[in-house]
Chains A and B, each alone.
Chain A
Amino acid sequence: MSPLKEKERTIRRPEELAPGRDFRYIGQRIPRADGPDKVTGRYDYLADGRYDKALVGVVLFSPHAHAKVRSIDCSRALAMPGVRVLTWEDAPDVLYNSGEWFPGQNDHPDERVLTGHARHVGDRIALVLAPDERTARIARGRIVVDYEVLLPVVDPEGAREAPEALHEDGIREFPGTIAFGDVEGAFASAAHVEEDVIVTPRIHHAAMEPHAVFAAPRPEGVLELHTPCQILFGIQQTVAKVLNLPFSKVRIIKVPMGGSFGGKQEAVFEPLCAWAAMTLHRPVLIVTNREESIAATRVRAAAVGRVSTALDADGKLLARRFDVTVDAGAYLSGARKVLMAMGKKTSRLYRIPAVEFAGRAVRTSTTPSGACRGYGSPQIHAITEIHTDLLCRRLGYDPVDFRLANLVHPGDSDPSGASDLGNARIIECLTRGAERFGWDHRSKVLSWGRWRRSAGFACCTHGNGYAGTIYHDVTEVSVRIMEDGSVVVRTSLHELGNGTLTAVAQIVGEVLSVPLDRIVVTEGDTQFTGYDIGCQASRVIYVCGESARLCAEQAKELLRSEAEKLWGCPTTYENGELLVGGRRLSLGEAVRAVETKGGTSVDVHLTYSPDRNPGSYGVHFADITVDTCTGLVTVNDFLAVHDVGQAINRNFDKYHMFNAPEMPPIDVLLIEKGEPGGPYGAKSIGEIATVPTAPAVVNAVNRALGTEMTCLPLTPARIVEALAAL
């Protein structure tokens, strides 16, 4: 390992990064490194592997939304050869919170690996293990459970008033507030006050790969866990807590993932699998099918949001007040974090002098919620953007002009005290998007027969990591230039299927001028790769990508300076070669010389923590047709405009957010004006790409029909109902 352990931050800070620079790899259309294997079926997912001597576990799930187990009879299952059953009676009493990813975050713990008190359909009662999945499933079918069925609470509003709290801790709600400015005064002096209540539904992620996890006891008391997850070290601390093991004895390995979208972000089956493996001293593979993955993992948290807006006589925003209830589902999980993430967005899209955001996460007898692409952003932007369109209609404002007058500008600060907004280009997104989409003519309402056609749009913002929040943001990366000039980038990244590893290879390749097929970027393994807080919060490009860039720069400089020392003449690094005096040396030759004669490997390890967290911005436009009899909506055309700072992989402009026979043509417009602090001026696009989509379509439907629908999803039945009520 190199003597260079970088702790100091040395970030190049160009005030304005010039876009359209002559890059070798950045901003090009680069095929993904994992593409060929995936499309030819050679990319093995966890459940495709062979696990000798492993037991395959299927979970016995509660069929009741709320029930206590009176008794369980496993005798017929245990009579089958090789079958083992672990029930809640065998399980440790340790309570944990699946959304806690760092020790001491103090997310309220209320979940166990198995429970005799089922709190949702799909709660985990027992784990049935057998040498193969089919036997395990048959054995599970032979277990008889006697339940005392209890009254469930399915409505988040009702959860606050239910006669008895659903959990023994007696807590009814987990509140959170964010406030700044003189909200009272603003509302008192406002020329207009508008209010709406918007309801957003729970959503399942529907990743192609259902949840699966493998755990094996290894020598010296080490538990090894293979999981397609998003936060290795978060899983590690939860498993360590449940098993009462030192972190060092819990090895988590990120394995190929068939989609997550947040669904595999929290610790769902990992603690159970790890505990079963340690208890039985056997490797254990837990697999789920589609039905189980839907019923028993995580969903996007449903939200009910009341928003009031105070405006002056000119249509300038004076203040906003929010009252938001988030449905955590059966366990608190990450729901309070989602609530606060919603609140954090309210001061970063429009210039609002005063905001009061008050909310609460409540537990119900439904599927637990958690992360889901956007982490609160889709919910809060559905609330504010549908409301903004409706208030414009009621007050006679043009929805484009109204927003242009109130949207944030580049360099604005966040009045809530969070990180500055950075090079926030939302105004450009809206003006250029409206022009490209043809908003002026598409927004007119056409009517023929039973059809109505019009258009809508919605704006949004999302973050770039955790700088300026209550959470820390730290990543480690190593770049080693090898003896043949190829490069290994050791990271604790998680490829979630979105091309992360290829993007990081592009960044490193750009710095070192090394062809991308000679660069390997690793995923995480808690025993061999450095610390990282996980692939969450849209931080990977802005934070991890920048750390990779800095690390590669240092590796380049290390090689150059060592070569200069070795040969004693001025040395420069040019186009993937070293120019030593008048001599050209290939990277491989230089590295071999530095190692053999200089006694140094070219291996740089960097710890990086950003001090900026700018906003990414986007506007989506939808052109839609509604069949007023069937309530079916056809999206005819779609434009996604995104302020990404700098595109890393140009394939992103084919970033498809729909995939069904009704997918409309999607046009993408990238605004690339550079973002200081990001690699080559890039910032996040991963989550925000999905954020304004639903409100854009809702706004289009409301415009086409003259309705004020605020309860999502806009099912055909709701559309027909709203039309009937006009």
Chain B
Amino acid sequence: MAGLMPPNSLDELAACLAIGNVRVVAGGTDWFVRDVESFGEEDTLIDLSGVAELRGVTLQGGGLRIGAGETMTSLAGSPLVRTHAACLAEAAEHVGSWQIRNRATLGGNLAGGSPAADTPPALMALDATAEILSLRGTRSCSVEGIVAQGRAALAPDEVLVAFTIPLPEGRISAFGKVGSRKEVSIARLNLAASLRRSGGSLSNARVVVGTLGSAGRLCPGAGEILIGSLDLEERRRAFCSALVAVVEAAIPGRSTLPYKRSAILALGEDVFDALMRTSDEGRGRS
């Protein structure tokens, strides 16, 4: 049966998924440009935008739960996201244009499988876990795991429902992006990082570079340097060098390597400075 199904709840969604030959679309900002012409007569399009349970940003059991249907605009403006997941708010704020951000969703940005997506590295840096619904039930998977599997991570009838971000005490995060221009730009390189500060010490760094062939690449070495014991200037330099090494290892021989090797320096500086600034401010307040 071909057509459009607009479920309003998870129960209705489940009934729609049972139809078979389904395509699932949330904001549709990529789908309508890229896939609409391949939509067959036998296919059914499920519009997730009316499913109430896919919305909402709440604090739950020591974590931040974000509905997969939240738009980039709502994430960027959410006080909870800005407070507890700053890098995600910053990433959402720089996706596409205003019009795109008003439609595009957090779940769609991950499910679309683009290696240049902006929010997956932020979710990875925050160690987020995804909740996935299908007729076979609900499963959860780390965003890191989803990104690693690329477009194969989700079956055609699987729907991202929500993301849960653990909220350890004192975590701060930052995001940076290089495109061909300031706004309305697809990332050529992006970088998200988070760490914990307690008292004077830093720990639990997660540094993720995006757009190096995959939407997110965890860089433990750069993370170690970030929270290491070098003095600030040395640490900044070493952090940037470690990121250059990540780029060189990730895309050897690619024509974009000379540029990305240089551009990552800028991202490294900016994200490092943002983290240390936030860190100082935190110290000042406490």
B107 to chain A, nearest CB (A): 27
CB closest chain-A residue, reference B264: A629
B183 proximity list for chain A (CB < 8 A): 660-662
Q: Are A630 and B37 in contact (CB under 8 A)?
A: no
* Stretch in B119-127, B174-182, B200-208 touching the partner: B174-182
Interface size of B as a range: 10 to 19
Q: Are A450 and B266 in contact (CB under 8 A)?
A: yes
Chain A CB within 8 A of B265 CB: yes
Q: Are B263 and A720 in contact (CB under 8 A)?
A: yes
B231-283, CB < 8 A from A = 256, 258-259, 262-263, 265-266, 269
Q: Are A720 and B259 in contact (CB under 8 A)?
A: yes
A721 proximity list for chain B (CB < 8 A): 258-259
Chain B CB within 8 A of A724 CB: yes
A631 touches which one: B37, B256, B259 (CB < 8 A)? Answer: B259
A661 proximity list for chain B (CB < 8 A): 181-184
A447-492, CB < 8 A from B = 449-450
The distance in angstroms between the C-alpha atoms of A355 and B75, with both chains bound, is: 61
Q: Are B263 and A630 in contact (CB under 8 A)?
A: yes
B14-49, CB < 8 A from A = 37
A660 touches which one: B178, B184, B258 (CB < 8 A)? Answer: B184
A583-632, CB < 8 A from B = 627, 629-632
A720 proximity list for chain B (CB < 8 A): 258-259, 262-263
The distance in angstroms between the C-alpha atoms of A627 and B264, with both chains bound, is: 12
B263 touches which one: A141, A449, A629, A724 (CB < 8 A)? Answer: A629
A682-726, CB < 8 A from B = 715-717, 720-721, 723-724
Chain B CB within 8 A of A137 CB: yes
Q: Are A660 and B266 in contact (CB under 8 A)?
A: no
A662 touches which one: B178, B181, B266, B269 (CB < 8 A)? Answer: B181
Q: Are B266 and A627 in contact (CB under 8 A)?
A: yes
A-B interface pairs (CB < 8 A), number: 50
A133-185, CB < 8 A from B = 137, 141
Interface size of A as a range: 20 to 34
Q: Tell me which of A630, A716, A723 has the highest count of chain B C-beta atoms within 10 A of its own C-beta.
A: A630
The distance in angstroms between the C-alpha atoms of A459 and B269, with both chains bound, is: 38
Q: Are B258 and A450 in contact (CB under 8 A)?
A: no
B269 proximity list for chain A (CB < 8 A): 449-450, 629
Contact mask A621-649 → B, CB, 8 Å, 1/0?
A: 00000010111101000000000000000
B51 to chain A, nearest CB (A): 27
A634 proximity list for chain B (CB < 8 A): 182
CB closest chain-B residue, reference A634: B182
Contact mask B157-197 → A, CB, 8 Å, 1/0?
A: 00000000000000000000010111110000000000000
A631 proximity list for chain B (CB < 8 A): 259, 262-263
Q: Are A662 and B182 in contact (CB under 8 A)?
A: yes
Q: Are A717 and B182 in contact (CB under 8 A)?
A: no
The distance in angstroms between the C-alpha atoms of A93 and B205, with both chains bound, is: 69
A450 in contact with B259 given A141-B37, A660-B184, A661-B183 (CB within 8 Å)? no
A660 in contact with B181 given A137-B37, A141-B37 (CB within 8 Å)? yes
The distance in angstroms between the C-alpha atoms of A723 and B259, with both chains bound, is: 11
Q: Are B258 and A717 in contact (CB under 8 A)?
A: yes
The distance in angstroms between the C-alpha atoms of A137 and B39, with both chains bound, is: 12
B184 proximity list for chain A (CB < 8 A): 660-661
A723 proximity list for chain B (CB < 8 A): 262
Q: Tell me which of A450, A662, A717, A721 has the highest count of chain B C-beta atoms within 10 A of its own C-beta.
A: A717
28 contacts between A and B (CB under 8 A): A137-B37, A141-B37, A449-B269, A450-B265, A450-B269, A629-B263, A629-B269, A630-B262, A630-B263, A630-B266, A632-B178, A660-B181, A660-B184, A661-B181, A661-B182, A661-B183, A662-B181, A662-B182, A716-B178, A716-B259, A717-B256, A717-B259, A720-B258, A720-B259, A720-B262, A721-B258, A723-B262, A724-B258
Kindly list the 6 A-B residue pairs having the minimum CB-CB distance in the complex, ordered from nearest.
A629-B266, A661-B183, A717-B259, A629-B265, A720-B262, A630-B263
Other A-B contacts than A629-B266, A632-B181, A716-B259, 8 sampled, CB-CB below 8 A, are: A629-B262, A629-B269, A630-B178, A662-B181, A716-B263, A720-B258, A720-B262, A721-B259
